[in-house]
Structure 1
Amino acid sequence: MKNPEFGPRVNYWRTRRRIPMAEFARLMGKSLRWLEDLEGGRRQADPQYSVMVLAARHLGITVDRLMSETIDTDCARETEVDAVRRALQRHDVITGNFDDGGEEAAPVEDLYRALAFARGGFQAGHFAQLGSEIPDLLVAASRAAHQHEGDDRLRAYEVLSLSLELTEAAAIKWGDAPLALLAGHRAVAAAERSQSPVIMASAARHLGDAMTAHGEAAAAAEFVLAAARRLEQELLRSGPDGYSTLGMLYLKAAMAAAAASEAEDRDPGRFSRRVPDYLDEADEHADRLGGDQDRLWTSFGPTNVDLYRVASHVYLSEGADAVAVAAGIPAGALDRLPRERRAHLLTDRAIGEKQAGQRQQSVQTLLEAEELAPEEVRCRPRTRALVEDLRILGAGSAEGRLRLLADRCGLPG
């Protein structure tokens, strides 16, 4: 039964199960070199059935699943993304009119717990599961905002806005910019009804992100800066939550300006010149905050500002600068950030390394990101495009590892 894909399939499942290579070699009763050759496609091209059974047993799957023609990359399926889109298109979610037999709205505290759970999954890099969690959250939060009264209604609108922000963030990860834009606009509208300046700022920064992803970077920069000017005094009086959301507005302004510069043909400098100023403004608010914190799931602080410096250099095709800034970020500070933030930095760094001609190192950096948050590498369109570019350009001694990564990304051979 000739199957040249056996080794890459073992690699895919071993990586998915987070089993170190040396440990899996011991489980198989083989040497590390044997396993390296197997996963690299240089051994067992016509695998012995006993080897297949043993590998499947230690991987916790059936032989049929191990040898399946289709590798499940654990990415969000179109049906799950459609479920989120349908929830946003529901009449009762849009209008707030819930005439469904008198079902009572959930207590706001329960909604916050559900939101925190889903947000925790996002920060851990588990984006696919959000496709099944977000629709129920949107419906429940919309019902609560409609049925509660007084302060509970205001708090319900806060949860609704934050839930729509999560929808926007997930849609960005899924590569669905129109869905992100829709959720971002709804988040801003709900935030205004919450009457909370902090929630308004938080929603504005997410909409700015969505507008940038949708190709409206110049407008995004104007929007988030207008929000910052309008809300600044109230945010400064709001303490750490206010400092964090105000700082994030300037980080999004920097990213939007960098993206606008890349899209501008006549005078790109009019946007790129502003990027350092916005990053410096964010730095001031990070200093005011006093360190890295995760207020309202922002991960804002000096380290996240550095992450955005790396990202802005990548946007401006300044790969060597991006790599230099990334190398200067203290490892201890990075370790305290959520997995999604760390993996995002590594993928930005990998793009910078590709831009700087360091393609072999780019592959290694992608593998480090994959180990942290597999979906950030295997499922995001921008990262899959990077893998394709590296395959075309060549990655020297990293070719074998790149080929296996492309397989795990589900890219055609």
Structure 2
Amino acid sequence: MDSRRIAENIACWRARRRLTQTQFGALMGKSKRWVQDLEAGSRQADPRLSVLEAAARVLAVPLAVLLAGTPDDHANADEMDAIRAVLHRHDIVTGARATPADPIDVETLRRSVHHAWRLFQSSAAFTSLGGRMPGLLTDVTQAAALHQGDDQLAAYRALSMTLQLTEALAIKAGAPDIASLAGHRAVIAAERSGDPVIQASAARHLADALTADGHPHAAAAFAQTAATRLTNELTTRGPAGLSTLGMLYLKAAIAQATAAALTDHRATAAARQVPDLLDQADAHAHQLPRDADGNALFTAFSPTNVALYRLATHVKLYEGAAGAAVAQTITADQRAALPRERRAHLLTDLAHAYTQAGQREKAVDTLLDAEREAPEEVLGRPRTHQLVEDLRLLGAGTAEGRLRALAGRCGLPT
């Protein structure tokens, strides 16, 4: 942990909460001098997690906000605060009309949601995308409440897809509470739409959110139950149906791999299920027509994406060498066919695999490749920041200089 940055974050949020050092100390059960030392970064070189959890509780912020390491993280936190606020608004929760204005027509909504998803997959303008989500959430919620008949069903589809995008952004920003909230509501909106493809898409995003929020067993069960329930309808819905069905198995595989890293009595059984789930996804990927849209419903689903998930599950299981071997089977042309966000994700997972395999110089160079592909996927992601910190602790040999420069661009102390 970067104790200096954490100290600055605590001081910043204490000031925003209009607490003096004496008041904050009293709420923490400590003295003013203790707070002064904490905010100066001299209380402990590595603050105990219990201290940080108590500070987050007193300051009424998620722990992830105190751990944020760069100015971009603060911007992300502000965007997530704005999204959290709109998700908690009465009109958004209930669908009650806040103003007497007419709802936006469903075709305009569809185009707006489609454009937002395209921005997400291009890894472009994440900051502006996060900033526009409160307004988009308001528009689609009011449309679902006010339209009737087929237009209302279309509005519920747009609402679910907007909530799914909110969940995906929240996971990248390290805000699992928002991801879980948005994911649950996306499933509800999808059920109201009556569209099995949207239902499957929402289910796979909720599985992602549950995994990120520390509930991988529940995530795997949810995704697998949804797949069983919807298979008959999805297999008749062309590429979109096959893609969302396949993604349910991929999300179940990631959830089971995450669960297998736990120390509970179900870990071994979870690990055994991962290969079968990946194989089921691969079978659906190979059922796609040759000329099918490889990004149906923004899934990027294909045999290549299944390979990407094989790599990711190996990383979750701390099988770095096996993950790196999978990555070598993906050709340059196959990688180029993926959306930019997926290409960067592949490279960052490969960097994790190289780190686990002890090939730390390769890990640094792979992170630099990912940065060239999509800078924000490296410079603005808590998960990648942690990998940079791990590499600095482990040592990167001849790549030390490149690693220090990357850490600086991430806003980490050098």
Q: TM-score range by the shorter chain?
A: 0.7 to 0.9
Distance in 1, Cα, partners of 2:251 & 2:409:
31
Question: Aligned partner of 1:112: which letter?
Answer: R
2:285 maps to 1:273: no
TM-score (normalised: structure 2):
0.81
Distance in 2, Cα, partners of 1:259 & 1:158:
30
Distance in 2, Cα, partners of 1:357 & 1:129:
38
Question: Aligned partner of 1:356: which letter?
Answer: A
For 1:4-403, what aligned pairs fall within 5 Å after superposition?
A: 73=72, 76-100=75-99, 102-126=100-124, 127-291=126-290, 293-403=294-404
Question: Aligned partner of 1:352: which letter?
Answer: A
Higher mean Cα deviation, 115-124 or 171-180? 115-124
Tell me if the contact between 2:97 and 2:142 (Cα under 8 Å) persists in the aligned partners: yes
Tell me if the contact between 1:293 and 1:301 (Cα under 8 Å) persists in the aligned partners: yes
Distance in 2, Cα, partners of 1:237 & 1:408:
48
Distance in 2, Cα, partners of 1:195 & 1:125:
31
Distance in 2, Cα, partners of 1:352 & 1:117:
33
Tell me if the contact between 1:75 and 1:375 (Cα under 8 Å) persists in the aligned partners: no
Distance in 1, Cα, partners of 2:191 & 2:219:
18
Distance in 1, Cα, partners of 2:76 & 2:337:
31
Gaps of 5+ in 2: 1-68
Distance in 1, Cα, partners of 2:366 & 2:403:
11
Question: Highest Rg: 1 or 2?
Answer: 1
Q: Could you list the per-position Cα deviations for residues 249-301 of structure 1 after superposition, in whole angstroms to 9, with x for gaps in the alignment? A: 00001000000100134452211111010000001110111357100100001
SS in 1 for 2:160: helix
1:14 is aligned to none
Q: Could you list the per-position Cα deviations for residues 334-362 of structure 1 after superposition, in whole angstroms to 9, with x for gaps in the alignment? A: 10111100000000000000000000000
Q: How many residues matched?
A: 343
Q: Could you list the per-position Cα deviations for residues 348-379 of structure 1 after superposition, in whole angstroms to 9, with x for gaps in the alignment? A: 00000000000000000000001111111111
1:411 is aligned to 412
Distance in 2, Cα, partners of 1:209 & 1:110:
28
Question: Relative to structure 1, is the Cα distance of residues 319 and 376 closer, same or farther in structure 2, using a 3 angstrom cutoff?
Answer: same
Tell me if the contact between 1:283 and 1:302 (Cα under 8 Å) persists in the aligned partners: yes
Question: Relative to structure 1, is the Cα distance of residues 103 and 267 closer, same or farther in structure 2, using a 3 angstrom cutoff?
Answer: closer
Distance in 2, Cα, partners of 1:129 & 1:304:
27
Question: Aligned partner of 2:392: which letter?
Answer: R
Question: Relative to structure 1, is the Cα distance of residues 253 and 165 closer, same or farther in structure 2, using a 3 angstrom cutoff?
Answer: same
TM-score (normalised: structure 1):
0.81
Tell me if the contact between 2:254 and 2:313 (Cα under 8 Å) persists in the aligned partners: yes
Higher mean Cα deviation, 341-350 or 104-113? 104-113
1:52 is aligned to none
Tell me if the contact between 2:171 and 2:209 (Cα under 8 Å) persists in the aligned partners: yes
Question: Aligned partner of 1:227: which letter?
Answer: A
Distance in 1, Cα, partners of 2:285 & 2:379:
32
Compute the displacement of 1:116 (Å): 1.4
Distance in 1, Cα, partners of 2:181 & 2:120:
19
Distance in 1, Cα, partners of 2:263 & 2:274:
14
SS in 2 for 1:263: coil
Compute the displacement of 1:177 (Å): 0.6
Distance in 1, Cα, partners of 2:209 & 2:70:
30
Distance in 2, Cα, partners of 1:216 & 1:74:
24
Distance in 1, Cα, partners of 2:70 & 2:214:
32
Compute the displacement of 1:75 (Å): 7.4
Distance in 1, Cα, partners of 2:349 & 2:142:
39
